[in-house]
Structure 1
Amino acid sequence: MVFRFAKRCIDGSRHTPLKVRNTVSRLRECSQGARHIRRLLWPFPWHFRPQQPPADIVNVGSNDKIVHVLHPDIRQLQCMPLFRARDTPLCSLYRMFEDLCTRQDVWMGYECQYFFYHNEPRWRLSQIPDPREKDPAIAAGLASLVDAMVTAFNWKLELGIRRTGKNDSTDDRVRNFEPEIAPAWVAEVPALEKLLDLHTNPHRKEGEPHPAFLERNVKACVGRIYDV
């Protein structure tokens, strides 16, 4: 049996589905390349598990450095096919929550776009598994993020922007898609007894708190998840 790891392109160059050369080049640019190589090549379990946020993450506040400590080199990793294949919706959701807690709006926007263009069935919002989060504040934040993403994704879909990357410019684009819905576990996450303020960022002009968060007594602005 012969396994083909590469195919010849029209111009005569070799191409592999894993884009090995591109991946190696990106790993060289990473601050923790050796760590990422070990993680990418270790096959058990195949799908990554979400990293638990540091203790008291909801009280971190605006911080320009902590986001890179929590998930360093993430933009490089997200361009690697092997990482994308092993990444999960729940991992991405936790990363977005970390960006929210550290007031890293731009990074949260990047992460949400990365999520949106994962078109595999397991990346449908309705398929996000229950994180069974024990911390009430984190649970409320995660559930609110999913609700907000449902609104943002459906808004993009109504504009004709498709998760496949092939946009719809027809007159039926407003109806020609399957709407995103939240998974069942989201509705079971209760509101917090005390207001959680994840809204204040001294480095930017505040937007309006998102209603999906206010319903769970969380104050947060997530306007960047609407970026297109």
Structure 2
Amino acid sequence: MVDAPPPIHLHFRDTAPPPRNSPPSQSPTPVSHPRMASEDLTNMRSVPIWRARDTPIRSMYRLYEAMAAGEYYAIGPEVEYFWYQRSWILSRLPDPRDYDPVRYAILASIAEELAKAFNWQLSLGMRRDKRKHIYRKTLEDVLPPYTPETAPSWTKHVPPIDLELIADLPDALDSSGRLVLEAGGKSPAFAERNIVTDSGHFYTV
């Protein structure tokens, strides 16, 4: 078994995206704030006013924070929470226009992985409205077709991480100079942007 790398020190701002008028960044900067503990997030999700004020962008940043901190156990609950927010249309997820190029690349890959994970759930008969889950009596029963989820269009324009920007993070790079969030990871959506990680945590039922 390959040991997991230490947490990657990338900049983030709690669970809120950075302001769009922030100055451009040429390199990732150190973590400045600890992320909210998973047990605290679980409690907050049960508060109606917190859920009412929450946004899909904030949820996506929480997924980013969990990955950057190496807390992959927090991804499944967050993905499930996003899934059941029926008003959060993934294809309409606004472009965060994050000024940190490394973080922006990770966010784009997260959005694309969410689309794949959601389609996997739909293929199993799950629906974003819990009342409309489709259950098969036997494995031979054919599930009805579904409208697939798609990633927001802005992800197509987010480039891979420039390896020169992360060259000063030797403990977090593989032999090709790519950013390693999870050793041995093989997620294509992340690999396209020079990020090594697995994505099994996104697939939850």
Shorter chain as denominator, the TM-score bin is: 0.7 to 0.9
Matched, 1:147 2:112: yes
Residues 218-227 or 127-136, more deviating:
218-227
Q: Does 1:94 align with 2:71?
A: no
Counterparts of 1:102 and 1:77 in 2: how far apart (Å)? 20
Q: Counterpart of 1:137?
A: 102
Matches within 5 A, 1:33-112: 50-52=16-18, 55-57=29-31, 66-68=34-36, 73-112=40-79
Mapping 1:182-201, distance limit 5 Å: 182-194=151-163, 195-200=178-183
Q: How many angstroms apart in 2 are the aligned matches of 1:172 and 1:50?
A: 42
Aligned residue in 1 for 2:169 = none
User: Which of 148, 157, 160 is 1:179 aligned to?
Assistant: 148
With CA pairs under 8 Å and 6+ residues apart, which has the higher RCO, 1 or 2?
A: 2
Q: 2:188 maps to what in 1?
A: 211
**Count, aligned residues:** 163
Matches of 2:44 and 2:203, distance apart in 1: 23
Structure 1 residues 51 and 139: alpha-carbon distance in aligned structure 2, compared to 1, 3 A threshold: closer
Write the letter of the residue equivalent to 1:87.
Answer: D
Percent of pairs with identical residues: 36
Gaps of 5+ in 2: 1-14, 19-27, 164-177
Q: Which has the larger radius of gyration?
A: 1
Are the structure 2 counterparts of residues 55 and 74 from structure 1 closer, same or farther at C-alpha, using a change threshold of 3 Å?
A: farther
Separation in 2, partners of 1:85, 1:55:
32
Report Cα offsets for 1:101-127 as digits up to 9, x if no partner: 11111111111110001111xx11101
Deviation at 1:95, TM superposition (A): 0.4
User: TM-score scaled to structure 1, two decimals?
Assistant: 0.65
Q: 191-200 or 165-174: which moved more? A: 165-174
Cα shift at 1:131: 0.3
Q: Does the alignment pair 1:224 with 2:191?
A: no
After TM superposition, the runs of 4+ consecutive aligned structure 1 residues lying more than 4 A away are: none
Q: What is the root-mean-square deviation of aligned Cα atoms in Å?
A: 2.4
Rounded to whole Å, the distance in 2 between the matches of 1:51 and 1:181 is 22
What is the Cα deviation at residue 76 of structure 1?
0.7
SS of equivalent residue, structure 2 residue 130: coil
CA distance in 2, matches of 1:115, 1:172: 27
Letter in 1 for 2:198: C
* Post-superposition offset of 1:209: 2.4
